Amino acid sequence: MEQEQQQVMSNKQIILKDYVVGFPKESDMLLKTSETINLKLPQGCSNGVLVKNLYLSCDPYMRMRMTKTEGSYVDSFTPGSPITGYGVAKVLESGHANFKKGDLIWGFTGWEEYSIINAPEGLFKIEHTDVPLSYYTGILGMPGMTAYIGFYDICAPKKGEYVFVSAASGAVGQLVGQFAKLSGCYVVGSAGTKEKVDLLKNKFGFDEAFNYKEEQDLDAALKRYFPEGIDIYFENVGGKMLDAVLLNMRLNGRISVCGMISQYNLEQREGVRNLLTLITKRVRMQGFIVSDHYHKYPKYLEMIIPLIKQGTINYIEDIVEGLENAPAALIGLFSGNNVGKQVVVVARE
């Protein structure tokens, strides 16, 4: 046992070279093999945990962390250091009372093979291991909670309402559409390829879906699918789509602002011209950060675990093998390369 604890390993890491302007490139990140790491918590790290990373989550918000920003809800990455994000990991050694060796956790970790997490209070211990572990980067992790809070808490759906979801085949959007159907709503999603549009209708049960890249006039497209207007819009993209949606909202509509992926790589962000609709249609538009709501995670698990086991909820992952392929997987999010939740496998235990 003592020999195992003293085991010395190399540690592959994904390093951010420097802050990014415009569209990120794979070359903005570097695969580096660090000097050897002793698989034992260092002296003075009595409250931390040492973990072996298994799955890493690629998420659009990570683009904002590649830019130097002040006062954001999440810190910018540090050039020259490993980038960080949500992941699933196994505890190798723990100095924290809530975790012990062998525990599986999800939460913020490093894009590397092994990480020392100095503030493990934000980690979640994985109790349900009879579902795929990778699901804790998605449906059972941050994206799942985002869909749950943004749709149920902020939009408060009622049976028979008209729901529109942008970026609908992504990690969050695919769940929002299915939650809408479970709530008895009519739901339409937009995506960027025929394959994704087919998935929305055939796999996730959306009533309709369209390829936004094939629409010359987004306002006309929305009027085609929502002749009576939109009650709930789950916002993932921003820009021109948001502007078109505003023209099509119904009285007392709700817009849950989860993300604005169309704006993340622009040096000059697009303006939105149709905000007057918020007044004339009495529309409520609310942004949210999911980590403010993590206290509701146990309640979410109570709802979602049975739905997964019954096959009521479908969930698609886009799995990439190997830490060396993580930069390409992350960059691919901004070109719509992924189909479903983008996950990087670092190790399978």
pLDDT tens digit string along 164-206? Answer: 999 999 999 999 999 999 999 999 999 999 999 999 999 999 9
| pLDDT of res. 45 | 76
For range 20-29, the mean pLDDT: 93
| pLDDT of res. 9 | 82
| pLDDT of res. 5 | 46
Tens digits of residue pLDDT in 232-243: 999 999 899 999
- CATH fit for domain 142-291, picks 1.10.1200.10, 1.10.3720.10, 3.40.640.10, 3.40.50.720: 3.40.50.720
8 Å CB contact between 83 and 14: yes
Q: How is the chain split into domains, by residue range?
A: 2-138+316-345, 142-291
| pLDDT of res. 173 | 95
Tens digits of residue pLDDT in 149-164: 999 999 999 999 999 9
Tens digits of residue pLDDT in 79-125: 999 999 999 999 999 999 999 999 999 999 999 999 999 989 899 99
Give residue for tokens 């094939």.
214
Output the 3-class SS for the chain: CHHHHCCEEEEEEEEECCCCCCCCCHHHEEEEEEEEEECCCCCCCCCCEEEEEEEEECCHHHHHHHCCCCCCCCCCCCCCCECEEEEEEEEEEECCCCCCCCCEEEEEEECECEEEECCHHHCEECCCCCCCHHHHHCCCCHHHHHHHHHHHHHHCCCCCCEEEECCCCCCCHHHHHHHHHHCCCEEEEEECCHHHHHHHHHCCCCCEEEEHHHCCCHHHHHHHHCCCCEEEEEECCCHHHHHHHHHCEEEEEEEEECCCHHHCCCCCCCCCCCCHHHHHCCCEEEECCHHHHHHHHHHHHHHHHHHHHHCCCCCCEEEEECHHHHHHHHHHHHHCCCCCEEEEECCCC
pTM of the model: 0.92
Q: How confident is the model at residue 4 (pLDDT cuts 50, 70, 90)?
A: very low
- CATH fit for domain 2-138+316-345, picks 3.30.360.10, 3.60.20.10, 3.90.180.10, 3.40.50.720: 3.90.180.10
Tens digits of residue pLDDT in 27-59: 999 999 976 677 788 777 778 999 999 999 999
| pLDDT of res. 2 | 42
